[in-house]
Amino acid sequence: MEALDFPLLRLSLEAAVPLKVEEMRNWDPDTRAKVARSIADAIAEKGDILMYRSKVKGETAQVFNQTVTALAALAFASGGVHFAGMHFSADPHERGRLGLPCLKCERGE
């Protein structure tokens, strides 16, 4: 997936995913994997709602939160996760303790 052309969504994900990474840091790895898998179908089915708001009250927020949770869980995988031109990693050596987006990936290095 290419970089997001939705600056507010990008900014929101860059803020929310690292916070969720920290929340999940002490979770059992199997639990993180199960959570990510359980959300995958919902994101695949309703991912467009992230970019084009739903008319159903609360649905956009629900899909956003599910996406944040899945990305945070996947950030614990070896090498982290790439999504829409962003990179998230739970590895504290990748860019700070919070798993912030990788600067090298953002510059295309």
Q: Which of 3-7, 11-15, 37-41, 87-91 has the lowest mean pLDDT?
A: 3-7
User: Is residue 1 in some structural domain?
Assistant: no
Question: Is residue 64 in a domain?
Answer: yes
Residue 76 within any structural domain of the chain: yes
Does the residue 42 lie in any domain? yes
| The 3-state secondary structure of 78-92, one letter per residue | CCCEEECCEEECCCH
2 belongs to a structural domain: no
The answer to the question of residue 97 being in a domain is yes
Q: Which domain holds residue 87?
A: 7-106
Q: pLDDT band at residue 103, thresholds of 50, 70 and 90?
A: low
Specify if 31 maps to a domain: yes
Q: Domain for residue 96, yes or no?
A: yes
Secondary structure class of 27 (helix, strand, coil): coil
* The two three-digit tokens of residue 74, written as one number: 């996947």
Q: What is the pLDDT of residues 32-73, one digit of tens each?
A: 999 988 888 888 888 888 888 889 999 999 999 999 999 999
The total number of structural domains in the chain stands at 1
- Rounded CA separation 51/60 (Å): 9
Instruction: Write the DSSP string, 48-82.
Output: GGGTS--SSTTHHHHHHHHHHHHHHHHTTSTT-EE
